[in-house]
Structure 1
């Protein structure tokens, strides 16, 4: 019985550990000319396990390239090529990932994407700092307000930004599930 319980707990925990966020490249514009992909990545956090969804028509393609080929808009040494959209690419390693459209003239006109990927569990920091700053700095309260609704308890912390939410969820849900599985196996 303990083994069956442990197996059930692992089945429930597995989807939470496997799936990351899905990012549609260029949002509603998709993978096409005339989109500022540097601005699109601004403020976003990309984490190992997330996916990039490239939506494009037959006039475009997606090539995964190295930094030098990204800079020179060359697809002659592409790591991987996709030519039948939509294409979903899983971000499986931390670091810089480079994508270009190899159609002549497209990359040189801005159809290229640099995504900085952080390891799962790494504190979220946006790929590019936001271009605007708040007009007034936020000052934390010096005392914790209490209301009848929270019975004297401090209010819950604000939700974490994009990538950290997933990481916190795994810390709050995944770790206890793994511990419960181990306890069930031992008991």
Structure 2
């Protein structure tokens, strides 16, 4: 019985942690950070921002797809280049955040059912 419980707990934890393992945590400006004199347009080039990723000055979760604007509101910092525009892609196979939620829910259900079947096959009745 203990083996069954341990297996089930392990599978639940694996399913809960798996989506976070694929997210990317971007530090804006990399080693330069968020300050004057950094070309944030150049920094963002080639990066594939996706729903579930985060960007850091503060921690900003990228929760919805679309174009996002970030600016510094101190003095003339924005006009001197302290601004960032990125485009966040949705989860694969979705177009809207509602679609993302539906796809995520479906994947979760399929994962849980697969785990239940695997559990049944490994430990039996």
TM-score, reference length from structure 2: 0.70
Work out which of the two has the higher radius of gyration on C-alpha atoms and give 1 or 2: 1
- Equivalent residue for 2:12? 10
The Cα of 1:182 is off from its aligned counterpart by 3.2
Structure 1 gaps, min length 5: 55-86, 123-173
Aligned to 2:105: none
- SS, match of residue 47 in structure 1: coil
CA contact (8 A) 1:3 1:185 kept: no
User: 1:89-140, CA deviations, whole angstroms, 9 ceiling, x for partnerless residues?
Assistant: 1111111111100001000111101111111226xxxxxxxxxxxxxxxxxx
Q: Distance in 2 between matches of 1:113 and 1:34?
A: 13
What is the number of residues matched between the two proteins? 104
Q: In structure 2, how many angstroms separate the alpha carbons of the residues matched to 1:50 and 1:3?
A: 34
- Give yes or no for the alignment of 1:90 onto 2:61: yes
Change (3 A) 1:114 1:3: farther
For the 8 Å contact 1:9–1:177, the answer to whether it is kept is no
Q: Structure 2 CA distance, aligned partners of 1:10 and 1:96?
A: 34
Q: Give 2:85's aligned residue.
A: 114
Q: Tell me which protein shows more helix as a share of its residues.
A: 2
CA displacement at 1:8 relative to structure 2: 2.3
Pairwise CA RMSD: 2.8
TM-superposed CA distance for 1:178, in Å, is 4.2
| CA distance, structure 1, for counterparts of residue 67 and residue 116 of structure 2 | 36
Q: Which has the higher contact order (CA 8 A, sep 6+)?
A: 1
Q: Which runs of structure 1 show a deviation greater than 6 angstroms over 4 or more consecutive aligned residues?
A: none
